[in-house]
Homo-oligomer: A and B are copies of this chain.
Amino acid sequence: MSLTKSQVRPGVYYDSVVLMQLQRKLAALPGVEDAGVVMATPANLELLADSDLLEAAGKAARPEDLLIVVRAGSEAQADEALAQVDELLKQRSSGGANQAFRPRSLAAGVKNLPAAEWVLISVPGRYAAKIAHEALDSGKHVFLYSDNVDLEDEIALKQRAAELGLLVMGPDCGTAIINGIGLGFANRVRRGPIGLVGASGTGLQAVTVGIHNYGGGVSQAIGTGGRDLKAEVGAASMLQGLRYLAADEATEVIVLISKPPDEATAARLLSEAQTAGKPVVVCFIGFAAPAEQIGNVHFANGLDSAARIAVGLSTGAITPPAIEPRAGYLRGLFSGGTLAYEALNGLQNFLHPIYSNVAIRNSQKLADPLHSQAHTIIDLGEDVFTVGRLHPMMDNDLRLRRLKQEAEDPETGLILLDVVLGEGAHADPAGELGPAIAAHSKARPDIEFVALVIGTDEDPQNTEEQIHKLEAAGARIFRETTAAVDYVAARLAAAPSAAGKALRLFAEPLAAINVGVESFFDSLKAQGADAVQVDWRPPAGGNEALASILEKMKGK
């Protein structure tokens, strides 16, 4: 028969490494079958219950209490084990102990290692933002591993950092590689020409591993934390990282990794990626990639694929020549519903806002399909247009009228048409559309005409002749949607917003101050970085009421 006993220590703080070590030591004591050492959150209590480690005293503990539980063969053995807790807590076996002098505050750590450009913070979330602000005060970049940090704190930290030309990676940033040194969790990989920015820790790890395994190398891998691409944060760190890597001479190819951001953030990031002047591989896992490539932006469907594409590009990367942007709105007048849809699917990533009668997202719904607004893509073959009327692939009348309407709109900058050839279609669409394009071009030389021609060399209309007629009328021709999207996106995408203060470049060798999980300090030293471990403790031993009184006494 076995017996479970608990000890509750209200409001005390220990480093999680210490708690883990305590649990293991307790479990190894004579007669002890299992042990648990956890903060008494509801989830942790449930986990203890699942391991048959929860009894009355544990159930009564509060989330801020430390709960120590043992299950032993007898009550005496359980008591014996719990009696050793204080002794076991003293035997802290951490590499951090190698350090002769252990500053107790970040300020002291900064004095101890003034060359440090980085501060790593992995204390519990509620203390982390304050330390991160202190780090920014000292002019340091921040690697913020801590999770459970308020979103408002993240926004404030990143705004300040951008103003100061500093970088805040995180909160909840697990991984980075700066100047060849891994921060947090990081694999050892070859140095090379691929720079990464990732809102996902293991995402960044998996892609850097893939790059290494495919024979490539990494210049910098910058983490942002998982919430960076949320609308409220606006991809602050990813935009900063992207600009830094665009400016960095050692970086030839850029990789962006994240879960799919919201549409406005995606459009902002991708527009800016378009102007990076080097290939950018975008891996938004679960994102509907519109194509394999649009301009210099390559879309990867997964982490492994991102690594493979980046390595491929880094050996002989060719950046397509930049296309001069122009003003005005897109008006896409399609006869092919799927072509309209595919064009929208691609262009929505660059042109924002964009509207359509074949909207992919609710926000794109065009109020009146008969009238365009901002960037607009119309499928003229939709049911509303075809009651008692031939499909626009057979009869150009509707399209010619709409073409006139758009060409008379002062906001129109580019008109995109599809011309679908083949059996069943109009015998000479270019013969009708061409003269109209020529006439409108003359009246409105500021409007550009682009035609997407779908046809084969065997089609009854003679594809080559159709193309010739459209070109003669002044239209630029593409033969498949992605190529047209590629061109239109580059032509009409908004110019990137001002980069703000340029990010300070990272000096080598890397030196850092670590506040929190000591194994990160060990890891920095093992990699040859200069580092200091701050022996951080929460104010007033984690007692928040007392801490608040102390703060007030300091006059803050």
Please list the residues of chain A having a beta carbon within 8 angstroms of any beta carbon in chain B.
16-17, 19-20, 23, 38-39, 41, 43-44, 46-47, 50-51, 63, 66, 124, 147-148, 172, 174, 182, 184-190, 200-203, 205-206, 209-210, 212-213, 226, 257, 259-260, 285-292, 299, 301-305, 335-339, 341-342, 345-346, 360, 369-370, 383-391, 393-395, 397-398, 401, 405, 418, 420-425, 454-456, 458-460, 479-483, 517, 519-520, 523, 526-527
Contacts and interface: CB of A to CB of B under 8 A. Distances in A.
A389 B44 contact: yes
A70 B445 CA distance: 31
B388 A285 contact: no
B202 A369 contact: no
A387 B14 CA distance: 12
A405 B50 contact: yes
A228 to B, nearest CB: 14
A16 B388 contact: yes
B424 A519 contact: yes
Contacts of A405: 50
B337 A185 contact: no
Contacts of A19: 388-390
B288 A286 contact: yes
B206 A520 contact: no
A62 to B, nearest CB: 12
Contacts of A46: 370
Q: List the number of copies, as a whole number.
A: 2
A187 to B, nearest CB: 4
A173 B18 CA distance: 67
Given A185-B423, A187-B421, A370 B455 contact: no
B424 A458 contact: no
A425 B185 contact: yes
Contacts of A148: 383, 387
Contacts of A384: 41, 43
A373 B473 CA distance: 63
Contact of A386 (B147, B184, B385): B147
11 contacts: A50-B405, A63-B387, A185-B425, A187-B422, A187-B423, A189-B456, A206-B480, A209-B454, A257-B338, A423-B527, A424-B523
A20 B390 contact: yes
Contacts of A209: 422, 454-456
Contacts of A23: 397
Contacts of A459: 187-188
Contacts of A290: 286, 301-302
A164 to B, nearest CB: 27
Given A43-B369, A423-B187, A213 B479 contact: yes
Contacts of A390: 16-17, 19-20, 517
Given A51-B401, A286-B345, A425-B185, A387 B41 contact: yes
Contact of A206 (B188, B338, B458): B338
A458 B212 CA distance: 10
Given A41-B387, A185-B420, A292-B302, 9 more contacts: A19-B390, A20-B389, A190-B458, A202-B337, A202-B338, A203-B342, A301-B301, A302-B482, A423-B527
Contacts of A527: 423
Interface centre among A66, A189, A369 (most CB of B within 10 A): A189
Given A287-B288, A482-B302, A454 B205 contact: yes
Contacts of A395: 16, 20
